[in-house]
Structure 1
Amino acid sequence: MENIISGAVFGAGLTASGMYQPAVIMGQLKFESFHMIQVFLTATASSACLVAAAQKLGYIHLGPRSFSSVGLFAPYDGNIIGGFLLGSGMILAGACPGTVLAQIGVGVRSGFYAFEGATVAGVLWSGFLQRIMHCPAPVLRNGSGKDVAKKEEVLSVSQGLGVSPSTVLLGFEAACIAAIIAAATLTTLGPEAKISPVAGGLLICTAQFVSILLRKSLMGTSTSFEEVGDWFWGAFKGDSLPRRYNNLLFSTGAVAGAFVLARIFPAVAQVTEVTISPLTASLGGFLMILGSRIAGGCTSGHGISGMSLMSISSFVTIAATFAGGTLVGLLMG
């Protein structure tokens, strides 16, 4: 139940903030609107403070996310390639792995096609592509046989810079505030914005708070599509069904949260029309899930949550995501 509740708050937050709108995501990646970046940075910056406080109080104990490698050119090549594909899919579908769930709940037409493509990607990833394309980060075995990251791995920004975590957090907060203020001066709120971007970001951070409080873990959605694949192949092969389904419940809650909020406050469900063909939306959904699984996370798992942990892999992934989305947006014209 805690997964469904956490997901519902997340879905409601995405809906209230306007982040579920295809126009918001596509406008940001084409640099025509800066609503998305204000919501995203507000949610991430406030989440970083929340995570730091929870860690300090000993309520949660989470380390930075490890890097993802496909063994081509660098330890972070999986984060770079995966992030680029994720961003490419986002601009095509007008959605990300989290917002597509809110789109389903609200009833955005293109979201259903993006969801179909995303589901196909999850099934193919679980059945074939994971073994072909994914090379796990280096690990070693401890006495209990559990995989743990090598001690010499530099995974957090504070480790990489050789400064204290509190110094990094202060610097990150200052950078986010400056970027939010700059973005606010570059654009006026469009019709898709029902509340201010800062308020929307704080609502999404509320979902992070609920996730920490109830699940003692951070938000993430793209793994749920891999879990769908695991269940599909388990049923298809007649094997025992997988036992993991927490992310599926979280994503189900996100759809439900968006649906309920849109019914209670119909004004937030007034979608700014963007023409996205079914084929384009499906391709975008496929690419964003393929990319997020290669990178080991998406805009919520690597973005809001991973960056809150000051994980180098998350900053690399999100930078590649925006680069990929912007480049494809320029090519689309």
Structure 2
Amino acid sequence: MFISILIFGFLFGLILQYASLNKYNTIGGMATLDDLTVAKAIAVAIGLGAILLNIEIGLGFASFHVKPLILGGIVIGGILFGTGMAILGYCPGTLAISLGEGSLDALAGIIGGLLGGLVFTLVLPSIKSILGPDLGAISLQTLIPSKVAFYVVLIIIGVVFIAAAFWLHGFEKQKNYRWLIAGALLAILNTIVFSQFGSDRPIGASTTYPYLSDVLAGLTQNDYFAKIQKPGHWELIFLGGAFLAGLIGSLVTKTFKLKMVYENWEKYRGASNVQRAIWAFIGGFILIFGARMAGGCTSGHVISGGMQMAVSSLLFAVVVFGSLLLTGKLFYKS
């Protein structure tokens, strides 16, 4: 099991690295609308993945893992996650890949994320009241009882997501279609991970941070750690594979380089290494705290949940991208 999870993480890392989906310039560029690669790849992953996964589930080879619609956590957590993502320029999963490539700002973000995970564990008992109400696990499958109608609507929605990606691509006027290949491969990989022959769970990353920080701090005798122990362990191994992909991939292509400040950050915020490290730390803290409030991140909520047509995940995606763009407009000023 350890080896298979490590391989899944390695493939995940290679896919994101192939299309530069892990890089600060790409994710930060989404916040400033300088680069739409992330949105296009995610739209393809959700559109194609929804069709593949639901067919797989219908055939009995996998099962749903829909996250509940805990309204306060989804909305507030989504706002925080989008803010942290814009400032940091990474997602919980891409931090590991970029660290493997030598990105020092990713390391600062990881440290901030570990602290964010630890603080969330400590304050969770006192903020539970603002996370609700819990409206249950709602998805397209629960909303449309008829199987025929469900698959018809599912395919239409899937095609719309893919068409939206091409529509966005039209604005950029680029000939690079790596985002399309990466999005399709992410959908296929997640479908395999979901299967009974894979890990019988979705891809995820953010649970790693409170899991690891709680272990390091000895904060394991609580209800929250008991809840996240199994998924956190899985995701830690998965991100270990992603880190190896970043490291090996960058060494093979001779692109490994220790670097703190990237071009897009310098364009808007200056060339100070210290300032970048501080903001990356803050962004990482906000990112992971928000992810834990919402119960997931870009990979575990937006992509994996989107593939299941989960209402909680689709709402989270809308809130995150809205917060990402608003923060990008306010935080990045040329």
TM-score for the superposition, normalised by structure 1: 0.83
How far apart are the structure 1 equivalents of 2:293 and 2:74?
7
Judge conservation of contact 1:13–1:207 (CA < 8 Å) in 2.
no
How far apart are the structure 1 equivalents of 2:49 and 2:220?
40
Tell me, yes or no, if structure 1 residue 156 matches structure 2 residue 151.
Answer: no
Residue of structure 1 equivalent to 2:329: 330
- 1:134 is paired with a residue whose SS is helix
More displaced stretch, 304-313 vs 14-23: 14-23
Q: Greater helix percent: which structure?
A: 2
Judge conservation of contact 1:124–1:229 (CA < 8 Å) in 2.
no
Shift of 1:199: 1.1
Residue of structure 2 equivalent to 1:88: 83
Residue of structure 2 equivalent to 1:308: 307
Residue of structure 2 equivalent to 1:73: none
Match of 2:264 among 274, 282, 297: 274
Shift of 1:154: 6.2
How far apart are the structure 2 equivalents of 1:200 and 1:225?
25
Residue of structure 2 equivalent to 1:250: 238
Shift of 1:209: 3.7
How far apart are the structure 2 equivalents of 1:201 and 1:187?
17
Match of 2:33 among 22, 27, 31: 31
| Residues 163-220 of structure 1: CA deviation (Å, up to 9, x unaligned) | 7431331122121122111111101449xx7x62101212323431442342121101
Give 5+ residue unaligned stretches, structure 1: 69-75, 140-149
Identical positions, percent: 24
Judge conservation of contact 2:13–2:97 (CA < 8 Å) in 1.
yes
| Residues 9-61 of structure 1: CA deviation (Å, up to 9, x unaligned) | 11111111211111111221222221111111112222212211220221112
Tell me, yes or no, if structure 1 residue 201 matches structure 2 residue 183.
Answer: yes
Aligned residues: 307
- 2:218 is paired with a residue whose SS is helix
Residue of structure 1 equivalent to 2:273: none
Shift of 1:138: 7.1
Amino acid at match of 1:263: L
Residue of structure 1 equivalent to 2:251: 263
Give 5+ residue unaligned stretches, structure 2: 270-275
- 2:237 is paired with a residue whose SS is helix
Shift of 1:158: 4.5
How far apart are the structure 2 equivalents of 1:262 and 1:171?
39
Tell me, yes or no, if structure 1 residue 174 matches structure 2 residue 155.
Answer: no
Correspondence 1:1-333 to 2 at 5 A: 1=2, 2-68=4-70, 76-126=71-121, 128-134=122-128, 153=136, 155-160=138-143, 164-189=149-174, 196-212=178-194, 213-234=197-218, 244=230, 245-266=233-254, 273-275=263-265, 277-332=276-331, 333=333
Q: Relative to 1, partners in 2 of residues 1:295 and 1:309: Cα closer, same or farther, differing over 3 Å?
A: same
Output the aligned Cα RMSD: 2.7
Amino acid at match of 1:21: K
How far apart are the structure 1 equivalents of 2:15 and 2:212?
24
Q: Relative to 1, partners in 2 of residues 1:43 and 1:117: Cα closer, same or farther, differing over 3 Å?
A: same
How far apart are the structure 2 equivalents of 1:95 and 1:20?
7
How far apart are the structure 2 equivalents of 1:306 and 1:81?
18
